[in-house]
Structure 1
Amino acid sequence: MAEARTSTPRERYRTQVRAEIKEHAWEQIATAGASALSLNAISKRMGMSGPALYRYFDGRDELITELIRDAYRSQADTFRAAAEAGADLAGLAHALRTWALEDPQRYFLIFGTPVPGYRAPDDITEIAAEIMTVIVDACAALPSEPTPDGAAEAFDTHLETHRQWARDHPASPAALRRALSFWTRMHGVLSLELAGQFTGMGFDPALLYAAELEGLLGP
């Protein structure tokens, strides 16, 4: 039996044009940032009229949403593939660094300065939750940490009843705290590195990243 056609020539053309629009959008973002994204400028680059381009995207926010969705999906797929290949928390950290360095503008679109007036739809929040679930899974698989005291103990107590961000994952509060520490410390180093804040300081950011990871994993 012949295979059913999954798309028409018109649908394939539409997909190609949308992909080209997104390519030009990434070029704009790399040059001037997401807040300066202009559909009119993209239409001129593509030799289209403004109204013609709006047949493919309703407006700037829809285009930004597509780019953010693609970025989160790329990171989620990277983490999922690493986890399925047996990566532990250290492996996820290395996967994150590689992913970020491959395309800094993609990284900054989702972890940099928020676009004024923009709010991501719920489905993107769900993709971000997938990423956090992989991290929490990896933290839950690590040996238990020593009994916390002071601020760490207070935060663990707080996390016992404030774990909705982890989709109520059954991991211990200590594992949840480690997941949050991973998220903040790894992204802290990456964000400063990619923003050029270490330029001229004379050290290798990769070694700082590795040292922060080692400190996070403990003895």
Structure 2
Amino acid sequence: MGKSDTATPRQRYRAQVRTEIKEHAWKQIAEAGASALSLNAIAKQMGVSGPALYRYFAGRDELITELIRDAYRSLADAVHAVAATGADPAGIAHVLREWARTDPQRYFLIYGTPVPGYHAPEEITGISQEIMADLLTACAALEPDAPATPFAARLADHRD
């Protein structure tokens, strides 16, 4: 039995509304960037009052934190899936690149220009460390005398 199987109708509705709010937020971020994120604009698009959204998110920063958490989780899941196959660092880099190309607004939210006035909570770093752990594990698995892949050669060139 899954988590949603035990949720009350009110909890399911709340989750649906939060998901809809985040979908509108992603659209705003894609169109105008994260710094332009507006709860009032989202409320207007949803046909509700601005204060109504504060029942679902305490404010813009909480919404941004949730979006960052979702973006990191999406990327961590993609990286972990390929790392679990024994992929080398180049394979992981390829997955990261494809994820960024598929979801550029998510990529720029977590790796782009910081959102003015926003400070991410400590919990966010835990998910990003999962990504780094997979990459470090893949690097550690490389044989020291193995010939450099084109990716590793390019990486070495950029270190000079």
Contact 1:93–1:213 (Cα < 8 Å) also in 2: no
Residue 211 of structure 1: CA displacement?
5.4
Residue 217 of structure 1: CA displacement?
6.9
CA RMSD for the aligned pairs?
Answer: 2.3
Residue 213 of structure 1: CA displacement?
4.7
Aligned residues: 154
Provide the C-alpha distance between the structure 2 equivalents of 1:44 and 1:3, rounded to a whole number of angstroms: 33
Spell out the pairing of 1:100-179 with structure 2 (5 A cutoff).
100-144=100-144
**Runs of 4+ with >6 A deviation:** none
Residues 64 and 211 of structure 1: CA distance in aligned 2, closer, same or farther (over 3 Å): same
Query: What percentage of residue pairs aligned between the two structures are identical?
Result: 67
Residue 144 of structure 1: CA displacement?
2.2
- Point out where structure 2 has 5 or more consecutive residues left out of the alignment: none
Residue 86 of structure 1: CA displacement?
2.2
Aligned twin of 1:83: 83
Provide the C-alpha distance between the structure 1 equivalents of 2:143 and 2:86, rounded to a whole number of angstroms: 17
Aligned twin of 1:7: 7
Aligned twin of 1:170: none
Provide the C-alpha distance between the structure 2 equivalents of 1:127 and 1:11, rounded to a whole number of angstroms: 25
Provide the C-alpha distance between the structure 1 equivalents of 2:100 and 2:126, rounded to a whole number of angstroms: 20
Structure 2 counterpart SS, 1:13: helix
Residues 110 and 75 of structure 1: CA distance in aligned 2, closer, same or farther (over 3 Å): same
Residue 212 of structure 1: CA displacement?
5.0
Structure 2 counterpart SS, 1:85: coil
Residues 24 and 142 of structure 1: CA distance in aligned 2, closer, same or farther (over 3 Å): same
- TM-score (normalised: structure 1): 0.65
- TM-score (normalised: structure 2): 0.88
Contact 2:90–2:151 (Cα < 8 Å) also in 1: no
Provide the C-alpha distance between the structure 2 equivalents of 1:142 and 1:76, rounded to a whole number of angstroms: 21
Residues 214 and 122 of structure 1: CA distance in aligned 2, closer, same or farther (over 3 Å): same
Aligned twin of 2:62: 62
* More contact order relative to length (CA 8 Å, sep ≥ 6): 2
Provide the C-alpha distance between the structure 2 equivalents of 1:85 and 1:3, rounded to a whole number of angstroms: 27
